[in-house]
Amino acid sequence: MHRGKGMKFVGDSRITAEQKANLPKDYSEYPGRTEAFWPNFLLKEWLVGSVFLIGFLILTAAHPSPLEQQADPTNAGYIPLPDWYFLFLYQFLKYQYAGGDFIVFGAIIAPTIAFGALLLAPFLDRGPERRPHKRPIAVGLMMLGFIATFWLTYESVSEVDYAERDEQYGVSIEAEETEIDTEAAGYEIYENNCASCHGGNLEGTGSYPSLLDTQLPADQIKDIAQNGIGEMPSGIFEGSDEELEDLAAFVTNPTGEEEDGEGEGSEEEGSEEEGSEEE
């Protein structure tokens, strides 16, 4: 452009003679690129992403994931499950040539190849076409990964009895709401002998049952503490007979509240005493 042509001089600055609106460039002559990335295309992506995010949040609020108790390293009977987005890999490791002696292949080599293929898909198929049948490599790798992930996740979920896991490992809401009498004589004895398996609030941990509302007599509790029952071995309790009495009394009544029968009995005794005084 020649000096001064189409320009207006204002002092030491140069201002164009015609002011043009700040409009995006016209990409109509390039097929598949008919709108500007910002803000047209990106705004649509944000709107679609927001819809999916809101839907996902509603789904998680309506159907929350099951909450289990804290992992106990001393409980060998507990079978942990990974989060839902790792269930496909968890199921893959169950197969013969992906676990056991082939654990390195199943846990490292195979996932590296699978995710590496998905990462390399845009570089392996660099064609300008947007139709799926015109991009067989990228679409094929994506469909293969989706089908494999969906099927392995479905297989993993179908093999788990979540109702049974909730009964064995679920968090006890009753235990959280129950106030334990920590001032009782048997509480410290319980902590030293039983809390590691049955929890600090008697709520139970892992496959070990809750001791709240056991409805077992004190003599049976003392027998179980000394001789064990089921998976519980004998010889767990090593205290004195007096400590055993305190432990049984605490387990039968961990809240320290008086039972209804005892309260009624005391009221009857009080009324009898009042009647004798009146006589």
pLDDT at position 147 is: 94
Q: How far is CA 184 from CA 88, 179, 238, 244, in A?
A: 49, 12, 19, 13
Element (H, E) at 16: strand 13-16
Mean pLDDT of 127-148: 85
Are 250 and 201 a contacting pair, CB within 8 Å? Answer: no
Is residue 152 over pLDDT 90?
Answer: yes
Would you call 193 helix, strand, or coil by DSSP? helix
Are 208 and 169 a contacting pair, CB within 8 Å? Answer: no
33 confidence band (pLDDT: 50, 70, 90): low
Is residue 53 over pLDDT 90?
Answer: yes
What are the pLDDT digits (tens) for 219-259? 888 888 878 887 777 777 777 888 888 888 888 887 777 65
Q: Which of 5-19, 71-85, 145-159 has the lowest mean pLDDT?
A: 5-19
16-30, 172-186, 219-233, range with greatest mean pLDDT = 219-233
Rounded Cα distance between 38 and 136, Å, is 30
User: What is the residue whose two structure tokens read 């968890």?
Assistant: 90
Phi, psi at 132, each rounded to 5°: -60, -40
pLDDT at position 109 is: 93
Give all strands (DSSP E) within 150-255, no chain letters.
none
